[in-house]
Amino acid sequence: MTTATAYELPPDIPRSDYREAAQVLAQAFTADPVWQELKPRWAKRATAALYWVFRCEIAVAAATGGHVQAIRNRAGAITAAAIAYTRTRPGFPLWTILLRIPAMFLLGFTSTVRAARMAFAAEAHQPDGPHFYAYYAGSRDVGGGAALMKRLMKAGAARQLPVYGEAKSEDMLEILRILRWDIAEPIDIGYGRSLTPATFHPGEVK
């Protein structure tokens, strides 16, 4: 008699790959509407700030037990990356602000305050109770984002946990529709920007 083993996420990327994963995410979010509201005026500073936003978020995930997942090509280069959490409630520990200081410095005071207000507005709609939180996902190649979301869906289904995320672009929203996530009405996060909550409910994942 054998016992089926629950699906486990692949190992998170090593620290040596944090830079590359942050670059992939930054490239994927360059045209993001929320980023357009927050980015510094000068192009070089904006490029550096967006990279450090994701470098800091990866550091937060690593320090708080989150997941930093990746898809690689045949040469071993990262082509898609995702940051995710197994959670019981919204929000981050207050001390994680310290890990975000490099990004906050490059963003500047005004954009940092705006980003915090947007984050608080989004958190007000996030679920309580155990769930996977698909925080960020981005890809350089077609299909990379979908592959990462399917990975989280399988992990959620194995544990009977819903997977929650906010679509930050029309491309991601279309991916979630194709994957049959439940799409909620967009939420206003301030400054004329919105996010679209979406939830995958556990079930059979092929």
DSSP letter assigned to residue 203 = S
CA 201 from chain centre, in angstroms, equals 18
In a domain, 2, yes or no: no
Within-domain flag for 1: no
In a domain, 142, yes or no: yes
**Burial status of residue 126 (CB atoms within 10 A of its CB: 0-12, 13-18, 19 or more):** middle
Q: State the burial class of residue 185 (Cβ atoms within 10 Å of its Cβ: 0-12, 13-18, 19+).
A: exposed
For residue range 138-148, list pLDDT tens digits in order: 999 888 999 99
Q: pLDDT tens digits for 115-152?
A: 999 999 999 999 999 999 999 999 998 889 999 999 99
DSSP-H helix ranges across 42-184 = 43-64, 101-107, 109-123, 144-159, 170-178
57 in any annotated domain: yes
| Centroid of chain to Cα 64 | 15
Q: What is the pLDDT of residue 2?
A: 41
* pLDDT score recorded for residue 7: 81
Give the total number of structural domains in the chain.
1
Contacts of 31 (CB under 8 A, 6+ apart): 169
Mean residue pLDDT across the chain? 93
Report the CATH number that the domain containing residue 130 is assigned in CATH.
3.40.630.30
- Say if residue 4's pLDDT is above 50: no
Residue 170 belongs to a domain? yes
pTM for this prediction: 0.92
Residue 125: inside a domain: yes
**Lowest-confidence segment of 126-130, 139-143, 176-180, 187-191 by average pLDDT:** 139-143
Domain that holds residue 183: 15-200
- With respect to residue 74, please indicate whether it lies within any of the assigned structural domains: yes
**Domain-located, residue 67:** yes
